[in-house]
Structure 1
Amino acid sequence: MIAKLNLENILFLDIETVPETEHFSDLDTTKQELWEAKSQYQRKDDFTAEEFYDRAGIWAEFGKIVCISVGYFSNAESDPRQFRVTSFYDDEIKILKDFKNLLISHFSQAKHLLCAHNGKEFDFPYIARRMIIHNIELPYKLNLFGKKPWEVPHLDTLELWKFGDYKHYTSLKLMTNVLGIPSPKDDIDGSQVCEVYYKEKAIDRIITYCEKDTIAVAQILLRLRGDVLLEENEILHV
């Protein structure tokens, strides 16, 4: 089935998130209490709510998006296969609006699909929740209300790799390793994004990391289809 998909109709993406404030103490009292309750199951008695706060970016209610990277295949006459990558970053509202505009202007038709690794569990709902929090109307590709499962325009490379084994989880780093794809985790990984953003203020490193993940998602789909992997000269950063 996936071998029949037109690659030009797929928008590959990845997001990077951080806690909504740098420090737990920056939250108001109510939000601190809500975070303490929300994180209780994960942290148990091993960490205080404040010590666990650097992981708050995982939840859309306590985090924010600092980068969305997207990639798509474009068949130019000079190069039959070119993968274009670009990123939206800085202010979250601007990130979300720019991403929405891209969906509406270039990926809004029925044939278009969104693709991410673990996207159905993380990227897609996270983006949708942050849009609603900022009172941004959901674009059609993210509005799943009333849609039947086969009508949802999302591809998930993790789901494809599960082959029906719903208890199975494989990280992007592990998948790239076993499939012989260059690792996107050669500089930082997800656990370091918060520190790089707030302490180092190195958004460029985060953008590079996010774009590498997006390219890796495309590479995984190519491998699952039995296609040849992208070469460096086929990837264009715009």
Structure 2
Amino acid sequence: MLSKIDPANILFIDIETVPQVWGFENLPGVAKDLFDQKTHWKQNLHEKSVEEIYNETAGILAEFGKIVCISCGIITPEAQFRVKSFYGEDERKILSDFCDLLHTHFSKNKSLLCAHNGKEFDFPFIARRLIIHGISLPRILQIQGKKPWEIQHLDTLELWKFGDYKHYTSVHLLAHVLNIPSPKDDICGANVAQVYYQEKNINRIKRYCEKDVLAVAQIFRRFRNEELLNLEE
């Protein structure tokens, strides 16, 4: 039960991803063919070109995307929220630094990772990119052979579903219905690739990612009927 979990054992995370290259035309020839094969059904279903599908989906596919920011947050004993972000152009360094954090502070049996839609996106995306870069998976990301109750992952979307597995609610909609204050943003997930490649404004992406990870922690607090957190500067 959520009420029995010590928040000090939870690392809240959110990731931002972009296509590995800007524009389908910039993919190497073999990668173009493979992306076309992987998404051909979607092109037919939505009557869109492969270029359009690439712009819409490449950033959320671990085979064709990459991580540009991982924001992590912890709840302090004083009910403050501390955030640290790993971000930039060097995905391998982002992943290595994130893994160092996991190895150092979140490698115990009681440690937990928490994200919104983390079980379907954040956690597997990180794990796949780690394997692609030849980086060993931290213990907390290793799920093979584990029983469901042994997996150290929390997912606020899954908690909100209450068993209704066809249901999807974004972190922003859930924060809204739970009356969690959210600063107005000038960016959304669909804009991240443009901000990264055309504006080259990684700090803007970092701020957006940090707001999302705070929202996840706030949602977790609301699920436990606890007061909302303040962001520690």
TM-score by length of 1: 0.93
CA gap of 1:202–1:52, structure 2 versus 1, over 3 A, is: same
2:187 maps to what in 1? 188
From 87, 90, 97, the counterpart of 1:89 = 87
List per-residue Cα deviations over 1:83-120 (Å, max 9, x = no partner): 10010011100000000000000111111100000000
Question: Which secondary structure state, in structure 1, belongs to the residue aligned with residue 232 of structure 2?
Answer: strand
Q: What is the SS of the residue equivalent to 1:86?
A: strand
* Contact 1:184 1:213 (8 Å CA) reproduced: no
Aligned to 1:59: 61
Report the RMSD for the aligned CA atoms in angstroms. 1.2
Aligned to 1:157: 156
**Contact 1:68–1:95 (8 Å) recurs in 2:** yes
CA contact under 8 A between 1:19 and 1:64: conserved in structure 2? Answer: yes
After superposition, what is the alpha-carbon deviation per residue over 1:52-103, rounded to whole angstroms, capped at 9, x for unaligned?
222200100010000000000122xxxx222100100111000000000000
Indicate the residue corresponding to 1:22 in structure 2. Answer: 22
**Are the counterparts in 2 of residues 184 and 209 from structure 1 also a CA contact under 8 Å?**
no
Find the partner of 1:70 among 61, 69, 72: 72
Distance 1:140 1:5 in 2: 19
In the TM superposition, what whole-angstrom CA distance separates every residue of 1:140-159 from its partner, at most 9, and x where no partner exists? 01111111111000000000
Unaligned 5+ residue runs, structure 1?
none
Q: How does 1:132-151 map to 2 (within 5 A)?
A: 132-151=131-150
Letter in 1 for 2:139: Y
After TM superposition, which residue ranges in structure 1, 4 or more long, deviate above 3 angstroms?
none
Preserved CA contact (<8 Å) 1:19 1:63: yes
How far off its partner does 1:22 sit? Answer: 1.2
What is the Cα deviation at residue 39 of structure 1? 1.7
Check whether the contact 1:16–1:210 (CA below 8 A) recurs between aligned residues. yes
Q: 1:37 to 1:203 in 2, by over 3 A?
A: same
Q: What's the counterpart of residue 31 of structure 1?
A: 31
Partner in structure 1 of residue 220 of structure 2: 221
Q: Secondary structure at the match of 1:121?
A: coil
| Counterpart-to-counterpart distance in 2, 1:41 and 1:140 | 36
Over the matched positions of the two proteins, sequence identity in percent amounts to 59
- Contact 1:173 1:185 (C-alpha < 8 Å) held by counterparts: no
**Aligned pairs, how many?**
230
Structure 2 counterpart of 1:170, one-letter code:
T
Residues 204 and 188 (structure 1), Cα distance of their counterparts in 2 relative to 1, 3 Å cut: same
